[in-house]
Structure 1
C-alpha cells in the first residue's frame, strides 16, 4: 500500500454513515442518554484533574465530536476519563493548569503519528491481568482523590493520592465535614438505588440535582463548582516555549500511551458488545489524537475513549457515529443554556459521583477470576495494581507487561522437553547403542541450556538420532545449541543423525550451522525409518562406545 493510500484509508468517508437511515432513532436516544451520564463525569473529572470543570466539559464536547468523525469505531464515546485524570493531576501540581492544553496538543500529535505508523495492534500484546490490575489501581486512585472534597478539606501536599487523602483528613472541621459527607452519601445512595426504580433513570444526575436543591434551600455552605463559560472559548494555540516543550515531553508521552491504550481497549470491548461493525485500530489512534489536539486548542484536556460511556451508548441503542455526535451536541446545549445552573453544583456531590464510579470500575467477579486463574496471573494482577497506586500508571503497565512476559517465557521454556523414545519396528540387538531423542515444544534462549545438558548427558550409546519434527519454536540461540549438542556428541565419538527439521526452521538451521556440524550431509533425514536403519548400520559396526575420533578419522568417514 502506498503512503497516500495508507493516509486516505485513515480518513472519514460517507460509508461511516450508511447505517444512519436505519439507526437514527436509536442513535438519538442513545446520544441523549450518554450525555446525561457524561455531564456529571465531565465536570467531576475536570475538577479532579485541577484543570477546572469548564475544561472537562469542553473536552467532552470538542473531543467527542472530533473522535466520532475521525475515529475508527462507530460507537466509541470519547472525553475526559478517570485514568487520564490520574495522570494529569501531578502535571497540574508541577506545571500549573496552563500546561494541560500544551500536553493535550503534544500527546495528541504523538497518538496521531502512532496511528499513521500503524501501531494500533500493539494493544493486543497487553495481557488481561495487566489491564485488570491497571483498572483496579485507577479505581483506588480516583476514590482517594475525592476524599478531600468528600470531607470538605483541601488536598494534602503529597502527589500520591492515598497519602494526600490521609493528609486531608487532618484538616477536617466538624460541621463542614459532616455536611460534605452527608452530600456524598446521599448521592451514592441515589446512584445505587435509582436503577432499581427504573433501569433508564440516571442516578448521577438525579443525585446531583437533589443534593444541589437541598443545599440551596437549607443555605448550607459547601464549595461550589463556580462560574462556567456560557459559550465555547475561541480556539487557539496555547503559548509554549522551548523550555515548556522540554519539560512537558515526558508527561506528554505518558499521556499519549495512556490515551492510545485506553481508547483501543474501549473500542475493542465495544466491538464485541453488539453488531456495530468492525473497528480500525490505526484510524482510532488518528481520531483520538486529533480529538486531543482539538481539545487542547479550545483549552480542554487530553481525551480518550471512555469504556463506561461507550458501553452505555451501545446498550441504549447507539449503532452509528451519530450517537456520539448527538452526545456532544447535547452537552453543548448545556453550556449555552444552563451554565449558570451547573455552576451552583457542590463539589461534594461530584465527589460522590466519582466515588461510586470508582467502585463500579472494579468487578468482584473479574477480580476473583484473575486471582484464581493461575499463580502467575495473580502475581501480575497484584503487582500492576500496587505499582499503579504507589508510583505511576505507565510504569505500572510497563512493569506488569514485563512480569507477564517473564512468566510467559518461563511457561514456554518448560514446554521445551527432550524424550527418549523406543525405536520403531522389531527390536534389534544393536538398538541398545542407539538413542532416539525427540525434541518437543520450544527450543529457544529460555530453554536451550537445559535441553543441551539433557542431550549431551546421554551415555553408553554410539548413535543419537535427534528428532526435530515436533519442535514448534526454534530461535537462533536454540539452533546454536543444537549445533553445540551435535559437536559435543561427535567429539565423544557418538554419531549424530538429525531427522525432521521443519521447513520454516531450515534456513535458520543452515545459517547457524546445524547442518554443517553433522559428520556427513547424509546424516540429515526426513523419514524416521530411514534414519533408524542408518543408525543401526552404524551401531552394527561398533562393538561399544567408539573412542573419540581423530581429525583424520573424521575426514575418512564415508557412508
Structure 2
C-alpha cells in the first residue's frame, strides 16, 4: 500500500521523461515558444484588463503561472495563463470584494485545484457532456464580446454591473464624438486579424494588429485611452494575509474559480492530446500543476490561471513536442516585463477590446453548433440552456444545470428503452402453461423506471397466474432502487400464493440482489436458476401440484 502511494505521488511530480523528445525537438520547441509568446502578449494584457485586475496582473499571470504549469502540469504541450472564462468569473469578485481580495482568492482556488489533483478527481471532467461543454464555450464567447462593448465605444462599465446590462447601457448612452475614434481602432484590429492570416499563416495577427493600431494612434495623434504604466520587473512574492473572516467571505468565490480552472484546464489538455502526437495527458497531474500555478500567481500579484485552449492550439500547430515550448513562452513574456513595458503601456484599450472581440468569434464553431442543433432535441435544448444561463446568470451554475439537464434526458432515454416483455413459453404447449407468466426484463431497472416495471409484472390481466418466471439475463443496469423494487415484487407475489422463479442473474448483479434481500423473498433457494429450460420445467412441476 505504501509502495502504491509513493508511486502515485511520483506520478504527479516532474521527471526526466517529460523531456524525452527534447534532443530531437528543441529547435521546434523554442520556435513554438516564441510564437506562442507573441500571440499571448496581447491576450494576457486584455484578459487582465477585462477581469478588472489590470494589464500588469494579466502579464504577471502569463509569466509566472505559465512557467509553473509548464513544469508541473500533466500535458507536454499545454500553455497556461489568464483566459477569457477566468476573466468573466473574476470580474464580479473584483467588483464585490475589491482588488485586495484577488491574491487571496487566487491562492485559495489554487489550493483547491491542487487538492483535487492529489485526491484523483482529475478524471471527473470526462462526465461533462459534449453539449454542455459547447454551450458553456458559446456563452463564454458571448460574454467576452459583450465585456468589450463599453471600451469599444469609449464608455466605462460601472463596477458590479452584469455584462449584458453594462453593454446595453454603453450602447444607449453612446457619445459618437468619442466612440468614433475607439470604433475606428477596433475596426483596424478586426480587419488586420482577418486579413493577415490570408497573407501568410505565420504572421502573429493579434500582435501585428495591435502594433499597427498603436502606431496609427500615435502618428495621427488620436486621443484614446491606453493601458498606462506597467511594472518593469516582477514584484516580490508575498503570500496574502488570511484571517478567518476573509476566508469565510471568499470561500464561495474560490470554489467557483477552482471549478472553472479545473474544467477549462482539463478540457484544454484533452483537446491538446487529440491534436499533438505527444501521447496522452495525466489529468490528476494537470490539476496539481494548475493548482501550483495559481498559488504562485497569487503570491506574485497575478490572477487565477487555467490552460488556454487557443494558445495551446497555436503551440501544437507550431510544432511543439515538449514542455520547453511553454517555458520559452513564459520567458518571452518575462523579457517584455523587463525590457519593453514602455511601448506596451502605449497600447490603446480599444485595441485590446478589438482583439478580444475577434477572439470571441473564433471561439465559436458554426459547424459544431449545427451538429448539436441537428442531433437530438434534448441535446440541442441542453446546449442552448447552458449558453443562455452562462450569459445571463453564472458560469458555474450554467455547467451544473447543464449537467443536471443532460443527466435527466439521458436517464429518460434509458428508461424508455427499459421494458418488461411477457413471453410465450418455448416449444409445444402443455396443460397448465396458461398459469405460468414468463417475463423478460430488458435494458435497465433503476430508480427512474422501477415503479413502471413493478406495475407491468403484477399484471391484473392474468389473474390465474400461479408461477412467474423473471428472466434477468438481458438486464444491463440495476441500482439499489431497482433491486429493492424487485424484492418487494417477489414478496408481494409470494404473499398472494404466486411462486417466483428468477432465471439468469448476471454476475455483476448478484451481490446487490443478495444484499437487498431479493433471494430471501423467494420461497426456496432452488427458485434461482441459470437455465431457461430448468426454470420452465420447475415452473410446470409447481403448476402440476396445484389443486384442480
Contact 1:138 1:388 in 2 (8 A): yes
String of CA shifts for 1:286-326, please: whole Å, max 9, x gaps.
Answer: 10010011111111111000011001101110010000001
- 3-state SS of paired residue (2:432): helix
Aligned length: 544
Alignment match, 2:481: 477
Distance 1:387 1:474 in 2: 34
Give the drift of 1:425.
Answer: 2.2
Alignment match, 1:555: none
Give the drift of 1:158.
Answer: 5.2
Alignment match, 1:347: 349
Structure 1 residue 304 corresponds to structure 2 residue 303: no
Structure 1 residue 526 corresponds to structure 2 residue 506: no
User: Alignment partner for residue 97 of structure 2, among 95, 101, 104?
Assistant: 95
Contact 1:156 1:167 in 2 (8 A): no
Alignment match, 1:114: 116
Distance 2:275 2:424 in 1: 52
- 3-state SS of paired residue (2:456): helix
Contact 1:276 1:319 in 2 (8 A): yes
Distance 2:324 2:38 in 1: 16
Contact 1:121 1:281 in 2 (8 A): yes
Alignment match, 2:367: 365
User: Alignment partner for residue 515 of structure 1, among 509, 516, 519?
Assistant: 519
- 3-state SS of paired residue (1:111): helix
Alignment match, 1:210: 212
- List aligned pairs for 1:247-258, cutoff 5 A: 247-258=249-260
- List aligned pairs for 1:369-448, cutoff 5 A: 369-448=371-450
Contact 1:158 1:164 in 2 (8 A): no
String of CA shifts for 1:260-299, please: whole Å, max 9, x gaps.
Answer: 1100111111011121122111111110010011111111
String of CA shifts for 1:139-181, please: whole Å, max 9, x gaps.
Answer: 1111010001000111145531010111122332222100111
- 3-state SS of paired residue (2:358): helix
Give the drift of 1:247.
Answer: 1.4
String of CA shifts for 1:395-446, please: whole Å, max 9, x gaps.
Answer: 1111111111111121222232111122122222332222211111111111
Distance 2:365 2:280 in 1: 26
Alignment match, 1:333: 335
Contact 2:95 2:159 in 1 (8 A): no
Alignment match, 2:81: 79
- 3-state SS of paired residue (2:398): helix
Alignment match, 1:154: 156
Distance 1:143 1:22 in 2: 41
Unaligned runs of 5+ in 2: none
String of CA shifts for 1:172-206, please: whole Å, max 9, x gaps.
Answer: 22221001111101101111111111111111111
Alignment match, 1:242: 244
Distance 1:335 1:287 in 2: 23
- 3-state SS of paired residue (1:146): helix
User: Alignment partner for residue 537 of structure 1, among 506, 524, 541?
Assistant: 541
- 3-state SS of paired residue (1:264): helix
Greater mean alpha carbon deviation, residues 434-443 or residues 411-420: 411-420
Greater mean alpha carbon deviation, residues 160-169 or residues 427-436: 427-436
Structure 1 residue 466 corresponds to structure 2 residue 470: yes
Alignment match, 1:556: none
Alignment match, 1:131: 133
Q: What is the TM-score with the length of structure 1 in the denominator?
A: 0.95
Contact 1:150 1:184 in 2 (8 A): yes
Q: What is the TM-score with the length of structure 2 in the denominator?
A: 0.97
Alignment match, 2:508: 504
- 3-state SS of paired residue (1:465): strand
Alignment match, 2:287: 285
- 3-state SS of paired residue (2:477): strand
- 3-state SS of paired residue (1:276): coil
- 3-state SS of paired residue (2:292): helix
Alignment match, 1:553: none
- 3-state SS of paired residue (1:438): strand
String of CA shifts for 1:329-369, please: whole Å, max 9, x gaps.
Answer: 11111112211000000000000000000111111111111
Give the drift of 1:467.
Answer: 0.6
Alignment RMSD: 1.4
Greater mean alpha carbon deviation, residues 146-155 or residues 225-234: 225-234
Contact 2:96 2:160 in 1 (8 A): no
Distance 2:321 2:243 in 1: 43
String of CA shifts for 1:96-143, please: whole Å, max 9, x gaps.
Answer: 222211111111111111111111111111111111111111111110
Distance 2:449 2:200 in 1: 58
Distance 1:274 1:4 in 2: 30
Distance 2:173 2:416 in 1: 55
